[in-house]
Amino acid sequence: MAEAESEATHAFERRIPEGDVRARLVCRDCGFIAYENPKVVVGSVAAWQDRILLCRRAINPRRGFWTLPAGYMELQETSQDGARREAWEEARAEIEIERLLAVYNIPRLSQVQLIYRARLLSPEIAPGPESAEVRLFGWQELPWAEIAFPSVRWALGHYRAALETPHYPVQANPPGELGNY
């Protein structure tokens, strides 16, 4: 709160501060630097038995396409709590986090995505305010042509591979995929 109040009283310009190599928002009067940092997205590949939870987006970007329950972390919450909150907000789903599945870097959007493997505590799901529809899909039913983002495809593939491999390591962007979509 203090930082937000402080920023409201400053007149900022974008320039490279002394001793830095990147352009930053710097107060013209006092030199205060308002750092802009990547956003952390948290989400899960959540399953009930062998069916995976997907949400059809009711908002842009990619309205009408399917995605995992995921979104931006809030202040004062853990990444696991954020993934649980997003599952509830988007699909009214209660989940148990099993483990970290992947960390994806999306530099074009200044995002870092933490995707967890999770178990639905019940098959009872319903659309939240950001979802037009929610559904549990078997692997052969996944709507691949209607997937919202490349990182959703990556996470689904990593989830599938993790089911078949004991001690599957935490994954990252696939080779050659820089996340600049």
Question: Are 137 and 60 found together in one domain?
Answer: yes
Over residues 125-144, the mean pLDDT reads 98
Over residues 42-60, the mean pLDDT reads 97
3-state secondary structure of 60: coil
- Residue pair 27/18 in contact (Cβ under 8 Å)? The answer is no
CATH, residue 64: 3.90.79.10
The answer to whether residue 177 is domain-embedded is no
Question: Are 75 and 142 found together in one domain?
Answer: yes
- Residue pair 117/162 in contact (Cβ under 8 Å)? The answer is yes
User: Of 22-26, 40-44, 70-74, 111-115, which range is least confident?
Assistant: 22-26
The answer to whether residue 70 is domain-embedded is yes
CATH, residue 14: 2.20.70
48 pLDDT band, cuts 50/70/90, is: very high
The answer to whether residue 91 is domain-embedded is yes
pTM: 0.86
The stretches of the chain forming alpha helices (DSSP H) are 2-8, 79-91, 150-164
Over residues 128-141, the mean pLDDT reads 98
Domain that holds residue 9: 2-34
Mean pLDDT of all residues belonging to the chain: 92
What domain count does the chain have? 2
Question: Are 19 and 102 found together in one domain?
Answer: no
H and E: helices and strands count for the chain: 3, 10
Beta strands in the chain (DSSP E): 12-15, 24-27, 33-34, 39-48, 51-57, 66-67, 70-72, 95-106, 111-120, 131-137
Reported as a single tens digit per residue, the pLDDT across 64-100 is 999 999 999 999 999 999 999 999 999 999 999 999 9
